[in-house]
């Protein structure tokens, strides 16, 4: 049986939901309760498996205290063809606890740049 893969847009929006939820230190259950859905449905939204309707996105915005544009940031200037071919590794990383910790705890731009340089060097060594 053919299984449709999630749309890059749905995955991006879902990962932004996850990132914001984690920024607020909110569980999937808490978000689900606020939206009147199960935590499993929240998981599906966050993975992009299920699309978030306009009315549900409005609820999510209210609950997570962000404007609708938050969920589409860093995606607006990317052509549709590019989104199909390459996943947004940055957004995926920022939707993890580690990514959020690095972004929120390290205030020095210079230090963050040095960390990125280190990671790039490690990546080069793997090749």
- Using DSSP, state whether 72 is helix, strand or coil: helix
Average pLDDT (55-77) is 89
Structure tokens at 34: 């606020």
Comparing CA positions, the residue from 12, 26, 11, 8 lying closest to residue 73 is 12
The tokens describing 62, both together, are 């209210």
Q: Read off the pLDDT of residues 68-119 as tens digits, 9 standing for 90 and up.
A: 999 988 775 545 544 444 456 666 777 777 887 777 788 787 887 888 788 8
Would you state the pLDDT for residue 40? Answer: 97
| pLDDT (0 to 100) of residue 63 | 97
Closest CA to 93 of 106, 102, 85: 102
Half-sphere exposure of 94 (CA within 13 A, CB side): 18
């Amino acid at each position: 049986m053919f299984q449709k893969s999630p749309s890059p847009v749905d995955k991006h929006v879902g990962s932004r939901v996850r990132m914001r939820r984690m920024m607020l230190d909110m569980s999937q259950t808490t978000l689900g309760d606020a939206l009147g859905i199960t935590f499993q449905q929240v998981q599906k939204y966050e993975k992009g498996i299920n699309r978030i309707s306009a009315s549900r996105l409005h609820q999510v915005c209210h609950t997570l205290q962000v404007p609708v544009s938050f969920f589409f940031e860093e995606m607006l200037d990317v052509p549709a063809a590019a989104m199909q071919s390459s996943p947004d590794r940055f957004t995926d990383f920022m939707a993890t606890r580690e990514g959020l910790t690095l972004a929120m705890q390290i205030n020095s731009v210079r230090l963050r740049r040095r960390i990125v340089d280190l990671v790039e060097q490690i990546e080069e060594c793997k090749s």
